[in-house]
C-alpha cells in the first residue's frame, strides 16, 4: 500500500487512489526507465506458473481488492474496496468480504452498506477462532458524513457487526493497516488521529481493542522530528513487543521526515528504532516489518541508490535492522523492468522474502504493470513474474502462501472485467 499526502481524501473512491498511487500533493508517481540493474541477472517466471484464479465482476460482486488475502484451512479470504459511496449505499457499493477457493470458486460473505455500517476496507483480514476481523478506513458512527473508520467482525456464515467506530480527534482515524492478535487482544494502527498538532489531521495512533469493542490508545505518534508519523504497514508481535513502520516522521532530510521504524510495548511505551534518512538510505516505508532469524527486514518505496526514479530520491530499498535499530540497506531497487516502489509487505517463506512492486513491462495508461519478486536475506533479487497487459495489474497487496503456491490480488485493475483479480504463482 502507498499513501503520500498529508491531506485526507473525503471519498472512498479517492481512498483507492491514495493507496495505489497517491491522492493530491503526491510524492510518489511512475518511475522513470531504469539506468542500472544492480548487476543482477533477473529471470521472470514462465507464464505457466502464473494463474488468475478469479476476476471480480464489479457491482454486487465487489471491485478493487486492494487488501491482501489470508488463508484459513483450504480457503482464501479477502475484501474489496467497492465503488466508494458514502451514504445510502446500494449493496456492494462500499466494499465486500469474500472467500475464494484455491480452484477459483468465489462467494461474497458480506456487502458493506456505508454509514453507520463500515465502508472502504483496505487491509487484510485476521482470523480469530473462526471469526474474521478487519478494519475499514471510512464508515462507522464517528466523524460525520464520512466516518472515521471501523474495526468489524464477520462470521463465515455472513453475519457482521461493528466492533469499534473510531472518533477522530484524540482517538484514531482511518485505520489502513490490518490487525494482529496478541495476548488475547487485537492491535492495530490508524493513519490519522491522535490529536498531535504536528500533522494535519493528527499523526496517527497505535491502539488496542478487545473483540467485544473496548478500545485503548497505546501511543499517539508525534511526527517529525521527534517521532514517526502516519503508520501504514501492519504491526507484528515478537518477544512481548509490537514492531512497525511509519510512512513519514522520524528524521532525515525529507520534508516532514523520511519515515521511521518503531517498537512499542503493549503497555504503550514507544521507541523509535531507526529514522530513515532518504537516499542512499530508504525513504517512506509502507509495508511493515518481518522477523527472520532474529533480524528485522522491510522495504521502503523510495530512497536507495538507483538513478532511475529521481522524483522519488531513488526507487526504494530492501533493508535489515537489528532489534537495537542498527539498519543496513541490502538492496536498492533499480526501477524499470526489475521493479520499483515495493509496497505490499514482505512474506517470509522457505528462507526467502516475497513481495510485489511497481515496474515490470510497460502498460498504458500507467506506464508499468508491476512485478512479483523474491529476495534473499543477503539482498539478491529474483523477479518471479512481470505483469504485462493483464488489465494494468498494479499488484500492491501482501502475498500469502499455501501448499507451495503464493497467492495475491491485483487491486486497482486487472482480471477479465478490469475490477481486480485473485491470482496464484508457483515460486
pLDDT mean values, one per 10 residues, the chain (427 residues): 34 37 31 28 55 90 91 95 64 84 95 91 95 95 89 95 96 95 96 89 96 97 94 92 96 89 95 96 94 94 91 91 94 90 92 90 68 94 82 74 93 74 93
Distance from C-alpha of 241 to C-alpha of 380, rounded to nearest angstrom: 29
The predicted pLDDT at position 175 comes to 96
* pLDDT score at 9: 36
On the CB side of 262, CA atoms within 13 Å amount to 34
C-alpha cell at 77: 479470504
pLDDT of residue 366: 57
Q: What is the pLDDT of residue 47?
A: 54
Q: Which helix (H) or strand (E) holds 164?
A: strand 160-165
Distance CA 227, CA 257 (A): 9
Residue whose C-alpha cell reads 538513478 in the numeric block: 307
CB 333 within 8 A of CB 317: yes
The pLDDT, as a whole number, for residue 390 is 55
Give the span between the Cα atoms of 385 and 370, in whole angstroms. Answer: 9
Distance CA 37, CA 340 (A): 11
pLDDT at 316: 95
DSSP state of 340: B
Model pTM greater than 0.75?
yes
Residue 218 confidence (pLDDT): 97
- The CATH number of 12-425 is 2.120.10.30
Query: Phi and psi (nearest 5°) for 47?
Result: -65, -20
Question: Domain boundaries in the chain?
Answer: 12-425
| Contact by Cβ (8 Å): 373, 357 | yes
Residue 90 is predicted with a pLDDT of 59
The predicted structure's pLDDT at residue 111: 93
Which contiguous run of DSSP H or E holds residue 14?
helix 12-21
Q: Is the distance from CB of 328 to CB of 302 less than 8 angstroms?
A: no
Q: Kindly report whether the peptide bond that precedes residue 407 is cis, defined as omega within 30 degrees of 0.
A: no
Q: Comparing C-alpha atoms, which of 152, 179, 172 is closest to residue 94?
A: 152
Amino acid at each position: 500500500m502507498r499513501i503520500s499526502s498529508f491531506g485526507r481524501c473525503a471519498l472512498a473512491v479517492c481512498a483507492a487512489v491514495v493507496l495505489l498511487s497517491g491522492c493530491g500533493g503526491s510524492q510518489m508517481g511512475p518511475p522513470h526507465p531504469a539506468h542500472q540493474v544492480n548487476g543482477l541477472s533477473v529471470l521472470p517466471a514462465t507464464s505457466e506458473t502464473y494463474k488468475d484464479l478469479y476476476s471480480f465482476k464489479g457491482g454486487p460482486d465487489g471491485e478493487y481488492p486492494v487488501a491482501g488475502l489470508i488463508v484459513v484451512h483450504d480457503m482464501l479470504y479477502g475484501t474489496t474496496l467497492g465503488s466508494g459511496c458514502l451514504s445510502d449505499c446500494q449493496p456492494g457499493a462500499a466494499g465486500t468480504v469474500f472467500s475464494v477457493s484455491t480452484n477459483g470458486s468465489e462467494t461474497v460473505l458480506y456487502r458493506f452498506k456505508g454509514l453507520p455500517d463500515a465502508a472502504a476496507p483496505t487491509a487484510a483480514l485476521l482470523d480469530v477462532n473462526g471469526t474474521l476481523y478487519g478494519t475499514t478506513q471510512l464508515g462507522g458512527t464517528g466523524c460525520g458524513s464520512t466516518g472515521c473508520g471501523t474495526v468489524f467482525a464477520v462470521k463465515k456464515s455472513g453475519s457482521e457487526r461493528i466492533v469499534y467506530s473510531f472518533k477522530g480527534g484524540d482517538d484514531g482515524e482511518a485505520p489502513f493497516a490490518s490487525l494482529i492478535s496478541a495476548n488475547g487482544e487485537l492491535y492495530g494502527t490508524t493513519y490519522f488521529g491522535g490529536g498531535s498538532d504536528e500533522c494535519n489531521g493528527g499523526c496517527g495512533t497505535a491502539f488496542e481493542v478487545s473483540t467485544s469493542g473496548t478500545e485503548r490508545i497505546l501511543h499517539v505518534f508525534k511526527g517529525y522530528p521527534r517521532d514517526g508519523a502516519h503508520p501504514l504497514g501492519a504491526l507484528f508481535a515478537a518477544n512481548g513487543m509490537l514492531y512497525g513502520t511509519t510512512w513519514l516522521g522520524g528524521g532525515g532530510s525529507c520534508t516532514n521526515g523520511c519515515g521511521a521504524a518503531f517498537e512499542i510495548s503493549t503497555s504503550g511505551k514507544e521507541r523509535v528504532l531507526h529514522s530513515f534518512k532518504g537516499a542512499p538510505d530508504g525513504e517512506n516505508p509502507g509495508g511493515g516489518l518481518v522477523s527472520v532469524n532474529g533480524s528485522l527486514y522491510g522495504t521502503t518505496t523510495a530512497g536507495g541508490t538507483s538513478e532511475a526514479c529521481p522524483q522519488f530520491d531513488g526507487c526504494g530499498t530492501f533493508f535489515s535492522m537489528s532489534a537495537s535499530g542498527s539498519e543496513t540497506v541490502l538492496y536498492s531497487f533499480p526501477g524499470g523492468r526489475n521493479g520499483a516502489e515495493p509496497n505490499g509487505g514482505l512474506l517470509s517463506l522457505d528462507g526467502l522474502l516475497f513481495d510485489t512492486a511497481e515496474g515490470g513491462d510497460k502498460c498504458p495508461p500507467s506506464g508499468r504493470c508491476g512485478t512479483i519478486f523474491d529476495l534473499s536475506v543477503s539482498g539478491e533479487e529474483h523477479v518471479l513474474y512481470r505483469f504485462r497487459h493483464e488489465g494494468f495489474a498494479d499488484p500492491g497487496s501482501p502475498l500469502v502462501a499455501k501448499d507451495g503456491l503464493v497467492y495475491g490480488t491485483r487491486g486497482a485493475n486487472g482480471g477479465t472485467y478490469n475490477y481486480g483479480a485473485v491470482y496464484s504463482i508457483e515460486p
